[in-house]
Amino acid sequence: LGEYYITRDYFEIQLQKIKNEHKYYSIEYPFPQLGLFKKESPLTVDLKDIVTALLHSRSDLKQSPHLSRLAGILLINLDKYQSFSALVNMVLSKNLLCFYIDEKKYPNKNKEIKDRVQIFRQIFFYNEPELCGFMEMNEILPEDYFIEWCTSLFTSVLNVDLVMRIWDIYLA
């Protein structure tokens, strides 16, 4: 992780542009069970700033509720600037960008997603042929869950503690 070096000045400029234009994106309040991201709490203000700064700086990205979840996990562990920098590098990584980019601005998006789903299916079948076969026999296809796993990096399907453990391994 870390292909894009985001300076603190760049981040502050993005925040200033947002404030000047009064253009904030609506966000989903992630992880209600934790009680950290309540309306107008300090972390929620930071969350809005981070997600809005990302979307404002990259007009080719589309808004997604998963951005709030990713930024929320980062904010639990990092300061606002570090969270923004990490979010930029996560979303713009070659592995995740196709899930967040606007299909109108990137015509190959669907092909790239299909390719990733197919690779996942092959790896799944190679490592767990019985389970893969059982799921497919019951019409539970990788398209039904893999895209959600990728776009949310498991934040929509696992509890926060487990997500943080997975991220520690993945991002190490």
**Nearest of 92, 90, 81, 71 to residue 8 by alpha carbon:** 81
Partnered with residue 101 across adjacent β-strands are: 61
How far apart CA 170 and CA 153 sit, in angstroms, is 10
pLDDT tens, 92-134?
Answer: 998 899 999 988 888 889 999 999 999 999 999 999 999 999 9
The runs of H, that is alpha helices, within 1-155 are: 8-21, 42-57, 65-77, 80-91, 97-100, 109-127, 129-137, 146-152
So what's the pLDDT on residue 2?
52
Structure tokens at 34: 């934790």
What digits encode the pLDDT tens for the residues 71-87? Answer: 999 999 999 999 999 99
Which position has the higher pLDDT, 25 or 61? Answer: 61
